[in-house]
Each structure stands twice: as C-alpha cells, then as structure tokens.
Chain A
Amino acid sequence: MKKLWLAAVVLFCWASGSYAEDFLNVSGKLHLRGVVPLHSESVMEYPSLLGQLKVDTKPSPLRFHMWLEGGWDGSVTLPVEDHSTLKFGDRVYQSTTPFLEFKELYGSYSTDWLEVRAGIQRFAWGRLDEYPVNDLLNPWDYSQFLRKPLEDRKIGVPSLSTRLSHDTWSLDAVWVPVFIPYRLPLSTERWSPLNQMVSRFNNLPVNFLTSDADIPSRNLASGAGGLRLSKTGVVDWSVNLFHGYDPRPVLKATRLIIAPVAGQVAVEPGAVADFHKMSSFGLDAAFVKGPWSLRAEAAYAVGRYFNTNLERWGYPAVPAFGVYPLAPNEHKSDSLDYGIGTDYRVFEDCLLTMQAQQTVILDRPDSLYQQKFETIFWANLRNGFLNQRIITNLNAAYNPEHGGVMARGNVSYVLSDYWKVGVTAVGFWGPEQSLFGRYKTNDQVEVDLVFSW
C-alpha cells in the first residue's frame, strides 16, 4: 500500500511537470542545513538536506493541494529499520532518514459561502505566536522542538473540514476521524529532553532503547473535532471548541531496565508517550490601537495531564543491572492558558513582537515540576536592511518560574529570487528539567542555504 502511495507521488510529480503550466501551480524548496554544536559533549547532528514540493491546481470550485516534504534529516542518529520511508503519522518515534511525508494533501470544493476540504490538513487556529493555546487540532513533531518554527512542527492530520462564511462571519468545523500521535525524538537524538543524561554516556558502551507508545486504536472513537466561530471587523475575534486527544506530550513512567546485551549495556528509561482525551473552550481576538497591533488568546482545558517532578519517578540513585518499577507520574487537572501579544513598529522595517502567556494548573499538587503559574515571556526584534534583502531576527524567551532562557539570533540574505542564505545562533539556559534548560547543551550555530522555485 505504501509503495503504491510512493508510486502515485512520483507519477504525479512527472505529470505535473508536463502539465504544470496548463492547470497546476508547482513550487518547491531545497534546504541544506549544517549545525555546529557549541558544546563538544552534546549529541551530534549531521547536515540535513530537506526538500519541499507544493502543488496546487489552478483556481476553480474544485481544487487539489499537495505539500510533500522529504530528505535526509541530520538530527536522526539511529534510523529505525522497521519504519517506512513514507511517514504516515502512525508512530510516536518515527525517526527515519531519508523520509517522505505529506504535510498536506487534500481536495476541496468551494462556493461563495461554503468550503469543504478532505484529506491531510494543517490548521492554524488561535492568534498567539509559538504557543497558540487554541491551536490543538494538529499534533506537533517535537523531534526538533524549539528549533523549528510553529508551522513546521505541525503534523498533518487526515480530516474533513467545512467553512461556512456569511458577510463578516465564518464557522469552521473540523473532524479528525483517525488518531495521529505527536512525534518525539529518540532518547539518543539531539532534541530529546533526555539528551543531557544520554550524552554523559557518550564514551561508554551504553545503548538507550525506546519503548514504542501504546497508541489508541485508530477508530472513530479516538478521533477529534473542533468548532471555530469567527467575526472580522474593527476587532477580529473567534470562539473555539476542541475535543480530542491532547496534542501536548506527557510521559507515563513504567519501569527502568538496565541489562547487559551483547557486550553493551542496554538501558530502557521506561518513559512511554501517553495520550489522554481532553476538551478545551477558548477565545482569541486581534485589533489595532494606534501603532500597536494586539492579539489575545485564552483557553480553558478540561482533563489535561501533567507529569510530576522527575525526581519522584523512582529512578535509582545508583543504577545497576536490574528492573526498577517506576512511580505513577501523571496528574490530571484542568488548566487555564492565556496570553497577549503585540507587534510594535519601532521604525520602518523594524518590528518588535512581544508576547506574554501563562498556564494556570488549577489543581496543582506539590509533586509537579511545573508551578501553579507557568509563564513565558517572548520577544522578537525583526529588522530589514537594503529593502529586505537582509533580514535579522533577535529572539528571546524567558520562563521566570524556573529561570529558563532561550536566545536566538538570525541573519538571512537574499542572494536572488531563488537563493537565500542564513546563519542562526541559539543558546539555552536553565535547570535541567525546565523547558529551555533541558536543552542547555544544545547551544549551536546553524548555517542554511535555501533554493526556492
């Protein structure tokens, strides 16, 4: 079946080349990326070559859209042999390289007041940057979390969506009939939250294993759905409803296994991706006030799960060969997420974006690592030079409850209509369990060369 899919894609690409000008819009991108780690003890990342192909049929009531990505992902250190090249969103640890993935693949029918889409889709609900709290329909790929922009993290979901529009009102309804899990890095990969622990064993014959998650059965009962009612005007606002599996990861502790295997030490950390259904009700709005473009968002979630502090999981202080049952490490609580963001034009071609958002864990026990109020402040200063031939971004995020910080600086230069080159430096600080601190050995410089057509 999967080979048939691949053959269909190849045939389609060949056909689109022949008929492109007649009824197709074809565009694409090739992205070569190299990483220079700033900590010698951190997990290695090899250069990546990623490609993107987008195909759209010319405007008509019936349309087809495809967004295919693939290539060699240098952050994957151990390709898992029994996973197929074509990712189908059916595994949590889908570490393969080379890979192919449909980010989007759908057909749509539209009239003046109705649009229906069916296929693999990505949605963009909510209005905040980086962590929009109402944007829950797509699970994320956390295998390069924090490094990838928001839309690149999203995994396309097979879904049916409808939009009804009338005047300044619109109603979106989405049904995702099949469960698609979030994607996590292997514990040995650079962006694994356990990478600091793993990297301590770099020079030792230790093999970290990862247990596949127990994924909910792929039937209608494990689907998800959402409704979004929107109005545009002086204030653009929306009301959102979501019910389905929480796309944010939480790990269930099972048992730690340390055993000798073929001259090496095999370690299974016993942290397995877990999934829980939840419901969320949220609001978001955007408006302009003087030189400020403002947006705000809030969501109340019922039935979320949070992990307890890692120190309470039951890992032995002195590990030795054996099997160690771990303590229950999940806690259920409702939560309230809210945030406000703004764009401020400092001067021409200089835009300051600021955002503050907070998660309130309403029934928080002391066993959780997260505080009752978890806050992230985020700011980005974007500057264009030489008529936006050079773009710089200076970005910082701060989590005051744990003192975690992420800072990123990027310069990109447009060589021509087709070529762009960029350099990015990113650094992390904070305690080992915190959102940013867990990646503090991942400070790095990235170099990107992009060809688009």
Chain B
Amino acid sequence: MFLIHYTQNNIPSGLFGRACRPGRNSSRGKSRKKFIPEGFCPMTDKRILLLLLAAFLLVPALADAMSGREIFEKMHEVRLRMLNQKTEATMVLYDRGGGKRIRTLTQYSKNAAPEAYKVLLIFNSPADLKNVGFLAHARTFSDRSLWAYFPEFKRIRRIPTSAQDDSFFGSDFSYDDFSGPPNLDDYAFKVLREETVDDRPCYVVEVSPKIPRKYSKYITWVVKNLWITAKVEFYREKELYRLGAFRDIRLVDGLPTPFTLEMQNVKSGHRTVVTVNKVSYRTSFPDELFTQRALERGGR
C-alpha cells in the first residue's frame, strides 16, 4: 500500500519527497538531473503512477470483498451442478437420553429445465418407514409442489409449503433441507466476517428471509472457493434454535460434497446425523422416476 504524504503547504510530495514543477528539474541533487527527462513533472506523473500502481494492487483486494448475494449465487451455481444426482445415506436420530433410531434412505434429484428441479426421496428402513416417500416438483425455485406417500395408508398426501420448515419425518432436518436449492430473491444477504472452520477459510453470511418463515435468520459459514456450507445456525428471533455442521468434504466428480451432515436442535438436545454412503452425479434419470407412480413404487 502506498501512502501519499502531504507537505505543510498541502502539496503532495509522494514517495520522492519533492513538489512537482512541470518542466523543471529539481534543484536538489545533481543525480536527479540525470534521470528526470525534460518536460517530465516528477510529482504529477509520479502521483499518477502511484495511483495506477495502487489501483493494480487494490482491485484484486476489492474484488475479494464479495457481497452476500454474490456468495450465495456462487453456491447456487454449485448446487445446480449437483442437481442431477443419486444419494444413498444413513440417518441416525439421537435423543438427549442417548437413544438412537436409524433410517436409511435414497434420494434422486434431477435438473428439470426449463422448470427448476425434481426430487424423490424414499426411506428404505426401518420397517415402519420402508417405502415412505417424498416427492418435490419445483416449477421455479420458489414455486414447489410437495407430496408424501405412506404405504400403510396407500395414500399420497399433498404437503403445503407452510410445512416446509417442519421436521422431516421426525429428524432435525426440515423438508426444505431435502427439497433442493432455494430462490435467492426470497432472501437478503449480509456478509458478517470471515472465519476458519475445520481449517477451511469461510465467509460468514447472515441470511434473512423476506417472507415469513419459521426461522427469522440463518448464519451460514460458506467455504471459500468451494462454495458450500460448512456450518449454519438457525435463529428464531434472536434465539439460536438449530445448529448444522457439514463435514468430511470430498470432491466427487469435481463437486465438493460433505459426507457427514449433522443437525442439532439446541432446545431439545436432539440431533440427527446423516452419513452419505454413496453419491453419484451427472446422472440422467427419466422424468418417470419423479412421478406419483414412482413414489408409490418406492422409486422403482
């Protein structure tokens, strides 16, 4: 960084410490006469040089200061590339007393351009949840239809979007967590600071929904250059409600993927850990997989 010092007469003297006299050499020091060409005003031109140098060095630094919206747009790009995928995972629910319940599930999703995306999620175990499924069709990132299927009743039920922040089948994750990327226009973003999480530099961004939602704000730690979430805090008014952590990040097909996702309800002490057993990207599932018929058949 270059600092411009001003003389007592308020004339910038720059690094070279002399006032600018266009076309005249400095009277101090014969050696300067040799190197300053005639007509060259050392101070004015030096200032310009300094400014240019400062600009050259400052622009990357300024560019580094991304807005919250820009950070989330980067994340959105990464999530879009992840839309065509199949994930097999184990979900373990831990209650405060130490008891646990284990579920396994398979999730399919598809980039459904010109619409947004489609998601099908089926529970494989335990027995009382087997073939219970969840289907989402997003016409846009904010306009979605959600259905749930209960084999015990052989009935498909539509889920209102007001329930999207509710517990996903008893876990600490919500339906929204499994429903695909959100509409960025529904949120306001503000970068708070930078921090390191698990040795990864992160942007800390405060996200506030513009429409009434269960959580009044989220604070998200976004891993720089990977553009995925490392940690998230959910607040209701000013009270911390849920804590999420996304660890064991690996590159799969060039896409950063957390293999361990943990969500904890701070109030109840209950937590859910999802471990990804297998994930495949760049899949090309047919549209028929994302239908009510497939939901009834358990995704087959």
Chain A window 440-453, contacts with chain B (Cβ cutoff 8 Å), 1 for yes, 0 for no: 00000000000011
Residues of A close to B125: CB separation below 8 A: 417
* Interface check B114, CB cutoff 8 A: no
Contact B126 A417 (CB under 8 A): yes
Q: Which of B93, B102, B156 contacts A387 (CB 8 A)?
A: B93
Contact B172 A387 (CB under 8 A): yes
Contact A236 B160 (CB under 8 A): no
* Interface check A265, CB cutoff 8 A: no
Contact B158 A389 (CB under 8 A): no
Task: Name the residue in A127, A290, A293 with the highest tally of chain B Cβ atoms < 10 Å from its Cβ.
Answer: A293
Cα–Cα distance between A417 and B126 once the two chains are bound (Å): 6
Residues of B close to A115: CB separation below 8 A: 293
Chain A window 364-407, contacts with chain B (Cβ cutoff 8 Å), 1 for yes, 0 for no: 00000000000000000000101111000000000000000000
* Interface check B64, CB cutoff 8 A: no
Q: Which of A63, A292, A384, A388 contacts B160 (CB 8 A)?
A: A292
Contact B160 A345 (CB under 8 A): yes
Contact A165 B291 (CB under 8 A): yes
A304-354 at interface with B (beta carbon < 8 Å): 343, 345, 348-349
Cα–Cα distance between A286 and B270 once the two chains are bound (Å): 34
A170-B293, A236-B158, A348-B167 are contacts. A387–B95 as well, Cβ < 8 Å?
A: yes
Task: Name the residue in B145, B152, B160, B293 with the highest tally of chain A Cβ atoms < 10 Å from its Cβ.
Answer: B160
B141-177 at interface with A (beta carbon < 8 Å): 145, 152-163, 165-167, 169-172
Chain A window 13-32, contacts with chain B (Cβ cutoff 8 Å), 1 for yes, 0 for no: 00000000000000111000
Residue of B whose beta carbon sits closest to that of A450: B128
Q: Which of A110, A149, A286, A293 contacts B153 (CB 8 A)?
A: A149
* Interface check B300, CB cutoff 8 A: yes
Residue of B whose beta carbon sits closest to that of A124: B154
Cα–Cα distance between A384 and B168 once the two chains are bound (Å): 12
Chain A window 259-294, contacts with chain B (Cβ cutoff 8 Å), 1 for yes, 0 for no: 000000000000000000000000000111111110
Q: Which of B160, B171, B288, B293 contacts A293 (CB 8 A)?
A: B160
Contact A27 B152 (CB under 8 A): no
Q: Which of B154, B157, B160, B214 contacts A122 (CB 8 A)?
A: B154
* Interface check B130, CB cutoff 8 A: yes
Q: How far is the CB of B39 from chain A (nearest CB, A)?
A: 76
Contact A290 B160 (CB under 8 A): yes
Residues of B close to A151: CB separation below 8 A: 152-154
Q: How far is the CB of B114 from chain A (nearest CB, A)?
A: 14
B92-127 at interface with A (beta carbon < 8 Å): 93, 95, 99, 101-102, 125-127
Residues of A close to B93: CB separation below 8 A: 387
Residue of B whose beta carbon sits closest to that of A389: B95
A113-B288, A387-B167 are contacts. A291–B162 as well, Cβ < 8 Å?
A: yes
Residues of B close to A165: CB separation below 8 A: 288, 291, 293
Cα–Cα distance between A63 and B102 once the two chains are bound (Å): 27
Contact B160 A417 (CB under 8 A): no
A403-431 at interface with B (beta carbon < 8 Å): 414, 416-418, 420
Contact size range, B: 35 or more
A165-B293, A288-B161, A389-B95 are contacts. A416–B101 as well, Cβ < 8 Å?
A: yes
* Interface check A81, CB cutoff 8 A: no
Cα–Cα distance between A115 and B300 once the two chains are bound (Å): 12
Residues of B close to A113: CB separation below 8 A: 288
Contact B159 A293 (CB under 8 A): yes
Q: Which of A150, A163, A349 contacts B166 (CB 8 A)?
A: A349
Contact A163 B170 (CB under 8 A): no
Residues of A close to B157: CB separation below 8 A: 286, 293, 343
Residues of B close to A387: CB separation below 8 A: 93, 95, 167, 170-172, 265, 268, 270
Residues of B close to A168: CB separation below 8 A: 291
Task: Name the residue in A150, A387, A389, A420 with the highest tally of chain B Cβ atoms < 10 Å from its Cβ.
Answer: A387
Residues of A close to B254: CB separation below 8 A: none
Q: Which of A27, A293, A386, A418 contacts B130 (CB 8 A)?
A: A27
B279-300 at interface with A (beta carbon < 8 Å): 286-288, 291-293, 297, 300
Q: How far is the CB of A424 from chain B (nearest CB, A)?
A: 16
Q: How far is the CB of B34 from chain A (nearest CB, A)?
A: 81
A288-B159, A291-B160, A387-B93 are contacts. A59–B169 as well, Cβ < 8 Å?
A: no
Chain A window 109-153, contacts with chain B (Cβ cutoff 8 Å), 1 for yes, 0 for no: 010110100000010100101000000000000000000011100
Residues of B close to A291: CB separation below 8 A: 160, 162-163
Q: How far is the CB of B5 from chain A (nearest CB, A)?
A: 63
Contact A386 B127 (CB under 8 A): no
Contact A163 B101 (CB under 8 A): no
Residue of B whose beta carbon sits closest to that of A348: B166
Residues of B close to A452: CB separation below 8 A: 126-128
Chain B window 187-200, contacts with chain A (Cβ cutoff 8 Å), 1 for yes, 0 for no: 00000000000000
Which 7 A-B residue pairings sit nearest by Cβ, starting from the closest? A388-B170, A124-B154, A59-B300, A452-B127, A291-B162, A417-B126, A112-B288
21 contacts between A and B (CB under 8 A): A27-B127, A27-B130, A59-B300, A63-B300, A124-B153, A233-B145, A234-B145, A286-B158, A288-B158, A289-B160, A290-B160, A291-B163, A292-B160, A295-B158, A348-B165, A384-B167, A387-B93, A388-B169, A389-B101, A418-B127, A452-B128
Residues of A that sit less than 8 Å from B by CB: 27-29, 59, 63, 110, 112-113, 115, 122, 124, 127, 129, 149-151, 163, 165, 167-168, 170, 232-234, 236, 286-293, 295, 343, 345, 348-349, 384, 386-389, 414, 416-418, 420, 452-453
Q: A236-B292, A388-B170 are in contact. List 12 more A-B contacts (CB 8 A).
A: A28-B127, A29-B127, A112-B288, A165-B288, A293-B158, A293-B159, A345-B163, A384-B170, A387-B172, A389-B95, A389-B170, A452-B126
Residues of B that sit less than 8 Å from A by CB: 93, 95, 99, 101-102, 125-128, 130, 145, 152-163, 165-167, 169-172, 214, 265, 268, 270, 286-288, 291-293, 297, 300
